Structure 1
Amino acid sequence: MSDEPSPIADGEALLDENRRVRAAQIIVSFAMLKLKTLRLTEKEADEMIETTRGRVLDMFPEGGNAFDLIYRPRLERLRNENEFVRLSRAAFQSER
């Protein structure tokens, strides 16, 4: 008996990983859409980014660095481009 995984097991593992990758892409895409369109404060936007990271890491526990390199910059750019985040940031700074 061989210790090598069967081709069926390999195929099932690959299908599972592909499903998780697609689910992570959908989660990030949904967060990007929300960051583009919702009226969010900077704190709410930051919480959304962290929640998105947590959901992706639930599927890929070792994927923290990949998330931070690939998705975090995109999400932060959208946060910074969100008109309402900019307005809330400006209002907060003017109160100081």
Structure 2
Amino acid sequence: MDSEALLAEERKIRRLRRAMDLAVTLLWQVDLTLTEAQEVVEHAKKTALELFPDKEQTFDLIYGPRFRRVLAEKYRLH
């Protein structure tokens, strides 16, 4: 991978990280219904897949538990 491609990949990773952090912050800090919160998670997943197509399983492994934990704690889904 050349340096330009590496820099582009690093930018995509930073953008992904910011998007996921923003989604988690929204879930915790904004008074959303459960349906709205689930839409935030779906939008976060869509954003991730736009940046990294064909990585749905990776998203589910890395970010799925994080989002499920937030939803379970905030909306008492045990």
Paired AA for residue 15 in structure 1: L
Q: How does 1:20-31 map to 2 (within 5 A)?
A: 20-31=12-23
**Which amino acid in 1 is paired with 2:9?**
E
Which structure has the greater CA radius of gyration? Answer: 1
TM-score (norm 1): 0.74
Question: RMSD of the alignment, in Å?
Answer: 1.5
Structure 1 stretches of 4+ moved >4 Å: none
Unpaired runs of at least 5, structure 1:
1-8, 90-96
After superposition, where does 1:1-96 map in structure 2 within 5 Å? 10-82=2-74, 85-86=75-76
What percentage of residue pairs aligned between the two structures are identical? 38
What residue number does 1:94 align with?
none
Unaligned stretches of 5+ residues in structure 2: none
Question: Aligned with 1:62: secondary structure?
Answer: coil
Task: State the number of aligned residues.
Answer: 77
Instruction: State the shift of 1:15 in Å.
Output: 0.4
Query: TM-score normalized by structure 2?
Result: 0.90
